[in-house]
């Protein structure tokens, strides 16, 4: 490789993914979706709110990554739970719209700095110790989990959050609160109170309260659609 060597096609792989507690497949999928989102942006694929979206059926993702449909579904769920993508249903048998979300600059810097700090410690052994390349050893699962939890904790604290709900235990940024109001209309406060009561009674902990509320709302919508479909089927099958 030299200054004139033409690089082969490649995927954009954000550095902040290196510090996230995600499977390799989920990270690779995010890079693939980000690449497709850039293509959608070039073709002016935007919704009524001006947000760029992409259409990428699970079958096509499975072929692109050479992974099973179930593996792809699990990776999509990981990215949704991590707040890196949003999926919007488009009706029966139609593929979902996928919105790729990008953390703000402050969160990315925190992730990058944390990762560099960890690498520096690995390459600066105490006196008398031999330097062991990081690729020749493995960190214990407990250490990995602890590091990831610390990075996630720093990321969550980087943006101010306001307490909501009867028990003041649902925390949302100003942006998250505005987006929930826009997406859920008059039901956004119902889900906040529901989550507040659940956390207070169960002692449950969530990585993102905004993602949890969206997940509950999506599940409720799916149940309502199924109930309507069942009622319609029974009505059509009723004879006089």
Size of the chain, expressed as the number of residues it contains: 240
3-state secondary structure of 121: helix
Selection from 145, 148, 160 nearest residue 111 by Cα: 148
Within 10 Å of residue 151's Cβ, how many Cβ atoms? 21
In the predicted model, what is the mean pLDDT of residues 1-26?
A: 89
CB 134 within 8 A of CB 144: no
Q: In this predicted model, what pLDDT tens digit does every residue of 20-41 receive, in sequence order?
A: 889 999 999 999 999 999 999 9
| Tokens at 129, concatenated | 């110790």
62/107: higher pLDDT: 62
Q: What pLDDT, in 10s, does the model give residues 171-189?
A: 888 888 888 988 898 898 9
- Give the residue-averaged pLDDT of 197-203: 84
SS3 call for 88: strand
pLDDT at 120: 46
Q: How confident is the model at residue 103 (pLDDT cuts 50, 70, 90)?
A: confident
pTM of this prediction? 0.46
Stretch 76-105: mean pLDDT:
87
pLDDT at 139 over 60: no
Q: What is the CATH number of domain 15-100?
A: 1.10.10.10
CB 114 within 8 A of CB 151: yes
Structure tokens at 223: 């149940």
Structural domain boundaries of the chain? 15-100, 105-157, 162-229
Q: How far apart are CA 142 and CA 13, in angstroms?
A: 26
pLDDT over 80 (residue 93) = no
CA-to-CA distance for 21 and 208, rounded, in angstroms?
14
């Amino acid at each position: 490789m030299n200054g004139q060597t033409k690089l082969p096609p490649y995927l954009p792989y954000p550095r902040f993914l290196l510090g996230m507690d995600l499977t390799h497949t989920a990270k690779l999928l995010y890079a693939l979706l980000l690449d497709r989102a850039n293509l959608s942006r070039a073709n002016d694929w935007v919704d009524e709110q001006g947000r760029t979206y992409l259409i990428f059926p699970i079958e096509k993702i499975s072929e692109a990554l050479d992974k099973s449909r179930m593996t792809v579904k699990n990776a999509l769920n990981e990215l949704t739970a991590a707040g890196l993508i949003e999926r919007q249903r488009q009706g029966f048998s139609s593929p979902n719209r996928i919105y790729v979300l990008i953390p703000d600059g402050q969160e990315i810097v925190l992730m990058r700095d944390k990762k560099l700090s960890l690498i520096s410690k690995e390459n600066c052994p105490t006196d008398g110790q031999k330097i062991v390349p990081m690729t020749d050893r493995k960190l214990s699962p407990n250490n990995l989990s602890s590091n990831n939890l610390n990075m996630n904790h720093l990321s969550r604290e980087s943006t101010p959050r306001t307490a909501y709900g009867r028990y003041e235990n649902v925390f949302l940024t100003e942006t998250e609160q505005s987006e929930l109001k826009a997406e859920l209309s008059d039901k956004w406060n119902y889900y906040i109170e529901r989550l507040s009561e659940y956390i207070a009674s169960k002692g449950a902990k969530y990585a993102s309260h905004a993602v949890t509320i969206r997940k509950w709302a999506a599940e409720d919508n799916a149940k309502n659609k199924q109930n309507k479909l069942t009622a319609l089927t029974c009505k059509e099958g009723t004879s006089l």
